[in-house]
Structures are given as C-alpha cells and as structure tokens.
Chains A and B, each alone.
Chain A
C-alpha cells in the first residue's frame, strides 16, 4: 500500500489511528498488538504471500537474538549464532534480490544455460533485513536491554518505516514503544505529524511527480543528448529523486509522529553540501549511520588492530603516509560504499555508483588529511566552487543509479563530457523559448500555432520548474527546520535562518496547510510509486 494513495489516506491511516488510541485506553499491550496487526495488514495489502516471509524473518531473528542473549558468557557461541543469523538474512536477501541477476550474468557467460527465472522482490526486504542484522549485532555487543517480543516485532514492522525506511536503530525506537505515554492520544503530536505528512505528500505529488516524464524521456533509448541536455537531465533527475525520497521520509516521520513515535532524520538539505563527506552526512542519513556502525567502523577498527599488532602507528598523524591512508581510510571506504551501491540493487551499475562515491569520499578524506593548513578558511567563491564540484560529482554518479542499462549510463556520461556535442539546449530553452513562444503567439497562424506555440511554452516551463525546484532546495529551509520548534525528528536540527518559515499553529499556516493538502490530495490520483520502493 502506498502512503500516497486514497486507500491509505482516507481508509487505512484513520482506521489504524482510531484503533490504536481506542485500544491505548485499555493498556499498552492491546494498542501495540493492534499496531503490529495493522502493520502486517499494510504489508499484506501489497502481496499477502510475503507477509509469511516477513513473519518468518522476524521469528528467526528474534530467536537468534534470544540465543545470543542466553549465551552471554560464551563468546564463541554468541559469535556463531550471530554469524548464522547474518548468513541466513543475507542468504534470503540474495535469493530474492540478487539471484535473478546473478543467474542472468552467468547465463550471459554461458555458465548456466537455463532461462532466467522470475522472482518478485518482497517490498522493503533490504530495509527489514538490515534493520534486523543491526539488532543482532547490538544484542551480541550487549547494547540491547529490551527483550520484549512485542516491542521487537513492532520495531521491525511498524508500518511507517517498514517499506522504505528511515532505517531505525533499536536504541532509539524500542524504548519509545515501552513508554506508556506513547499509547495516549496527543493532539499536538497528531497535528504536528499531520503537518509533516502533508509537506511530504506535497513534495512527492506536487514537486517530484511532474518531473518523472521528463526524466524518463531523457533516459529513453532513443534520446540522443548533447552536453547541456545531459546536464539538464541530471539536474532534473537529482531534484526528482530528492523530493521523491525526502517526501516519503517526511510522510513516514509524520505518520510515526501521529502515533507519538519520533523517527530519526533522514535528510538534511543534502544538496546544500559543499563536500562529499558533508553530502553523506545529509543524504539518506540512516543508511549512512547503519553502514558506518556495522561495516565501516568494524572494518577500520580491525585494520587498525592489525596495524597495532604489527607495531605500526595508528594515530591520525600516522595516516598521512600513503600506505596507511590507503589501508585505514581508502580501503574500508571503498568496501563500505560498494556495499552501499549494491544495497540499492544488483548489477554493475549500482556497484559503479557505490565505487564512485567511495572514490569521491577517499579523495575528500585525502584532501582533508594532505591539504595545506592555510586552506582551512573558505571564502564565498571557494565555497561556491566546492559546491559545484560536489554537485557535479553527485550528478555523474547518479547517472549509474538511474540509467536503465549500462549502455544508457555510458551514453549519458559521454554526453555530459561533451562527446555528442555541446548543444545549446539550456540557453535556447531557458532564454529563447520564452521569447520564441511569445513570438509564435503573435506571428504564427493556422493549425501549427496551436501545437508548436504551446509546445514551446511547455518546454520552457519544464526548465523553469527544474530551476525553481533547485531554488527551493538551495535557499529554503527543509521540513525539519520548518518544524524545528516541535522536535519533528530525532537528532540535531539546525533552526532555519528564515524565522518566518518556522511553523506555528496560526490561522495563516492553517490556511496554507489546508490549501496545500487540497492540492496534494488531488495530485494523488496521478501519482507514481516511490523511487525507493524498488530497493
């Protein structure tokens, strides 16, 4: 079931809220059980068959967590259970998400000569698998105190995050499910949650969706792009995926808040980043956190330990040697980002996406370590050049994320490098289309004017829309900043400089919310599924 569907907005959500707060009067357990039931229904409405898989995965992981708990004194057994848990989880993930591609690849190499089978990827499998692996690791490290099965099931299945995140950490969510006040109706949380939900819905349906046709056309096999057209396409796609995914996250955060639960931040104006390190601290923050906690840190620590065992220096100053930098920074980064790439999907494209970001991060870290100390203070021009370099690097990597095939990705990157000509699409469309459309209105007669004149206006408007959305992203505060007075999400939120943009329950903001929600709900009829649903 989609958050941006009438069934969810007018049926499922109100019903589950009413049930939750009605049962909340009877106590914590009935309300929590209702939430678990609602979450399974939510998942099952997409494909009932896979609710069994979800239940099985939860049952298995919870059992493993109990075994790890029970063997606190036996580290070897604990590690064995943990390894078993991770092995099975990853195995299931590989079966559903990667097996078809692996078979397809081996089929291509003539290793396997049967036709590729078709397997439907269970919705959100990457999200609920990684959430549970994180939990098992935490149990093994002794940082999980709550063993309640109900809280665990709720932590995994709570429907606002079940399908596309944010990826939750047990320490921030399970205690909230233990608190009695979570189950008491709060009109403040309902209001604040609704406002955040509507902002997310508007981002998705009013800002992201209108760009999808333009992006699909740009990546169509027949599209032949010039340099300017290719960059314009990637600027459009970058803004589409941002509003789509951050819109989804806002909706998830808003729904959770309606149930008195706070989720962590997942986006913090990522396109304002002036370095790649900064970007990953702002984009899909919960995935970055998960990979840092459970992959990068263990890798880096184990390398540092092996260095220390060999009596090699491991301090920060020691990393200024090329060899140490490569082993202690570059290597774990490349591995982590490769996994981040493959996490999004099977195939060489996603691996390249991850490796490119791994490379960018390595260069960025290297720059910080090896640069001259004089360059520490940045002027406005320097910041602008940093931003441009960061954004262009992100856009190049995004090509591999979005392009339907490797050939299409390479063609787009070649176009971005100017191989297919410079083109004048940007200038022609941004500047001249406005003029030419006016000219067409006054000079052309007959049937052609009705089509070409309007087409010129429509083309020009598409470019202005992309430019306008970039303006919003770069200048305006993000959802968390708008709502910062009401602690919309877990984590540190920088208040926005534009105080007038801060939300307060006034008549003016009620009017704005009412109007925006009317537009957004109308736009739901023509909406598309979230980009991140495929992951």
Chain B
C-alpha cells in the first residue's frame, strides 16, 4: 500500500514537459466538463432554483388531464394566490411563476390536448408581465418548459412583428442569441452553472422535492414569501408608464381565440397588490392596464374580466412584496370561488356569457379580521 502511495506521489509530482502538461490539462478539462454536464442533465432537482420543481409539478398536473371545471393560468401571483384545496369548485392552479401571456398560450395548448376540456379558464397576469416577456430565456427556455420548436415559433413571431424584446430579455449575454435554443435543448453546462453554484451543487434537493410535493398536494398552489404581512413595494410601483408588447398582445389574443374555438369561456382577473404598493402605483399604469383589458374583453365574446382596476389588499395578506401569504391565499380563493360560481351560472352552452358583455365583478379583501378564514399551517 505504502509502495503504491509512494509511486502515485512520485508520478503526480514529477515535472512534465510543457507539451505533455497542456495535454493533461486539456484532458482534465474535458473530464470535468463531461462530469458536470452529466450531473446537470441527471440531477436538476439537486441544484435548480425553485421554479424547477414547480414546473415539474405543473407539467405533471397538466399531463394527468385531471383538469376540473376551472383551470387557472397566470404568473407567480396567481400561483401563490389561488388555493384550489379551499375552493368548492374543482379547480386546478396551472399558473407558472414569471409567465407572461406568451408562455400561457403554450400551457393552455397542452391542457387542450386532454380529452376533457375545462368549463372555464382563468387568466391572471400581473400588469408588469405585459410590457415584455422578461423571463422567456432565463426561466422557460432554461427549464425546458418550452420546447425548441415552441421557442423558434416565438422567435419567428417576434421577428415578424419587428419586436426585439427577446433580445433584451434576461439571458446570458456571453452566448449568442441564435445558439440559445439549441444550447438549452442540450443542457449546455455554462447556461446552468450559475444555478449549480447558487444551489451549492446539491443543497436544494430536499427543498425542491418538498416544493414539488406541496404544489401537487394543493393542486398547483405554492408559497413564495411567507411573512405574516409585508409592506414592501412591488415592481409595478417603479413603472413610469404601461404598454403591452406586440408579442405579448399577439399571444394573449391567440390564447383567447384558441379557447373560443373550443367554446371555453375565459375570465381575466387582475391579481391584487398590497396596500403599500397601491399607494405608490402610478395612475397611468392603472388606467392604461385597465383600458387594455377592457379592449381585450370587448374583442373576444368568450371573455369576462374581473376587477376593472388593480385591486388593493391589506399588507397583512402578503408574504412578500408581490405574493399572498397563506392567509391571503385562503381569503382570496374564497372570494374567487364566489365570483367563479356566479360566472359559471351565466355561461351558455356555446361557452359564451349569457349577457354577451364583459362581466364586472370585484374581488375585495375582507374588511375586518373577524371575517377571515382560519389561518392554515404556513
């Protein structure tokens, strides 16, 4: 044994020629690269951020084709705010963190492949998700939520519209844009290395598994901030103006038309923001966003929309600047339940609303603490 150790020590310390040294270094580089690549492909649960287990949970929920009467799509506010387990209507929360209407289109398409289509689709995107599809690359391409073909389709649509927002979306600027879809498809290690470092190689495994289990147990609901109230200000307050990007507008209209072609009514809701954000929310954002949604509802006969303006809920219902905590989720889901029940009663057999107009309803926060549902285990 000691002879072997001595021999190994001798070999490893022996000086090499520079040429041999370069060859050995290159081999070591290759071996390391391949090992990391294999690890990245095989064990994303160990290192990937929290969106990964949620994407797995949502994909599983969608593929099980157990969509109930109502399916909710939207962004992280909807993920945290809609708790199907406290709703009497069979509801599934397929909202996806950071999703804009672009990604929602593809998620809706997947649900429509199921034999049983939902009776009602709820679409709930924050006002900040309309000006650009910020997380197209860093979340949806990176996690494989969108296939390479879907990514290419969005790129082609953006090009046809003359919309360069994908170029400016959050992504690695060291890799040329044209290679990104292919490199994401093969899980090119540099694109996942930051996650590997942030996740301390395997520190996220336990938490990701728990997050996935929780999302599956609650039909898609997941926590973000867990504080017992938050007066932090969310991103909408920083917006100086509001506009919808051509690409996002195209895909929202496409989604609504697709659902109309299947006679599925749609309810567009605006998720509430906390009271502190409300105080700082520029009036122009409120008015332009509401006007846009009203125009959308007008253009599509299968669309109703709830909340003419961005609703404001007390800070106590928020776990962080953006998201409901469990108290907020329960309260909001109870209110949403009532609105949904009423809406479902007003739907014709062809999926159109009986009065054929947009239905205005308001999901208000409970006024006093007495009316709040019991606080579940957060």
Instruction: Please determine whether chains A and B interact with each other in the same assembly.
Output: yes
Chain A residues near B (Cβ < 8 Å): 4-7, 187-188, 190-191, 194, 206, 210, 441, 445-454, 457-458, 461, 504-515, 517-519, 521-527
Instruction: Check A507 against B12 for contact (C-beta < 8 Å).
Output: yes
Give the docked Cα–Cα distance between A438 and B222 (Å).
22
Complex Cα distance, B31 from A148, in Å, reads 48
B25 & A510 in contact (Cβ 8 Å cutoff): yes
B194 touches A523 (CB 8 A): yes
Please pick, from B16, B175, B208, B222, the residue contacting A506 in the complex, using a CB distance under 8 A. Answer: B16
A294 smallest CB distance to B (angstroms): 38
Q: In the complex the two chains form, is B207's CB within 8 Å of A525's CB?
A: no
Q: Which residues of A contact B206 (CB under 8 A)?
A: 441
Instruction: Count how many pairs of residues, one from A and one from B, have CB atoms less than 8 Å apart in the complex.
Output: 144
How far apart are B212's CB and chain A's nearest CB, in angstroms? 9
Instruction: Provide the residues of chain A in CB contact with B185, threshold 8 Å.
Output: none
A449 to B211 CA separation, bound complex (whole angstroms)? 9
CB < 8 Å: which of B26, B203, B221, B224 contacts A451?
Answer: B224
Chain A residue numbers with a CB within 8 Å of B191 are 525
Across-interface contacts of A511 in B (CB, < 8 A) = 24-25, 28
A188 contacts B18, C-beta separation under 8 Å: yes
- Contacts A191-B21, A525-B190: A446 and B378 contacting too (C-beta < 8 A)? yes
Beta-carbon contact of A450 and B36 below 8 Å? no
CA distance A504 to B17 in the complex (A): 10
Kindly list the 8 A-B residue pairs having the minimum CB-CB distance in the complex, ordered from nearest. A514-B28, A525-B190, A510-B24, A518-B32, A447-B223, A526-B194, A522-B193, A505-B21
**Interface assignment of B292: CB less than 8 Å from any CB of chain A:** no
Nearest-Cβ distance from residue B117 to partner chain A, whole angstroms? 29
- Which residue of the partner chain, among B28, B223, B326, contacts A513 with CB atoms under 8 Å? B28
Residue of B nearest to A512 (CB): B28
Q: Give chain B nearest CB distance to A2 CB in angstroms.
A: 8
Contact status B377-A445, CB under 8 Å: yes
Q: Which residues of A contact B36 (CB under 8 A)?
A: 518-519, 522
Contacts of B193 in A (CB 8 A): 519, 522-523, 525-526
In the complex the two chains form, is A448's CB within 8 Å of B200's CB? Answer: no
A525 lies within 8 A of B172 (CB) = yes
Q: What separation, in Å, do the CA atoms of A518 and B190 have in the docked complex?
A: 10
Chain A contacts for B32, CB-based, 8 A: 514-515, 518-519
Partner of A447, one of B25, B172, B200, B326: B326
Interface centre among A191, A514, A521 (most CB of B within 10 A): A514
Q: B18 contacts A187, CB within 8 Å?
A: yes
The answer to whether A505 and B377 touch across the interface, beta carbons within 8 angstroms, is: no
Q: Which of B217-242 contact A (CB under 8 A)?
A: 218, 221-226
A245 nearest CB across to chain B (Å): 20
| Cβ contact within 8 Å between B378 and A447 | yes
Q: How far is the CA of A464 from the CA of B28 in the complex (A)?
A: 29
Contact of A521 among B20, B190, B210, B218 (CB under 8 A): B190
Taking a contact as CB atoms under 8 Å apart, the answer to whether A508 and B12 are in contact is yes
Complex: A515 Cα to B28 Cα, angstroms: 6
Residues from chain B with Cβ under 8 Å of A526 in the complex: 172, 174, 190, 193-194
Other-chain contact of B214, A190, A446, A504, A506 (Cβ < 8 Å): A446
Give chain B interface residues in 86-145, CB to chain A under 8 Å: none
Determine whether the beta carbon of A450 is less than 8 Å from that of B21. no
What separation, in Å, do the CA atoms of A210 and B197 have in the docked complex? Answer: 8
Complex alpha-carbon distance, A223 and B368, angstroms: 32
State the CA gap A521–B25 with chains docked (Å). 14
Question: Is B11 part of the contact surface with A, judged by Cβ < 8 Å?
Answer: yes
The answer to the question of B168 belonging to the interface, with a C-beta cut-off of 8 Å to chain A, is: no
B33 interface residue (CB < 8 Å to A) = yes
Contact: B18 with A450, CB < 8 Å?
no
B window 6-50: CB within 8 A of A: 11-22, 24-33, 36, 50
Q: Please list 13 pairs of residues, one from A and one from B, whose beta carbons are closer than 8 Å in the complex, sorted by A's number.
A: A206-B197, A448-B223, A449-B207, A452-B226, A505-B17, A506-B21, A510-B24, A521-B190, A522-B36, A524-B190, A525-B175, A525-B190, A525-B193
Give the contacting residue for B22; candidates A191, A450, A521, A527; CB below 8 A. A191
Asked if B194 and A525 sit within 8 Å, CB to CB, the answer is yes
What is the CB-to-nearest-CB distance from B21 to chain A, in angstroms, rounded to a whole number?
4
Taking CB as reference atom, which chain A residue is nearest B215?
A: A447
B189 within 8 A of partner (CB): yes
Q: State in angstroms the CA–CA spacing of A108 and B12 once bound together.
A: 66
Given A447-B326, A453-B207, A514-B25, residue A525 in contact with residue B12 (CB < 8 A): no
| Measured CA separation A267–B136 after assembly (Å) | 41
A510 touches B16 (CB 8 A): yes
Nearest chain B residue, comparing its CB with the CB of A452: B226
**19 more A-B contacts (CB under 8 A) besides A452-B226, A505-B16, A505-B20?**
A6-B190, A210-B197, A445-B377, A446-B377, A447-B223, A447-B378, A449-B207, A450-B223, A451-B50, A451-B223, A457-B200, A504-B13, A505-B21, A514-B24, A518-B32, A519-B193, A522-B36, A523-B197, A525-B194
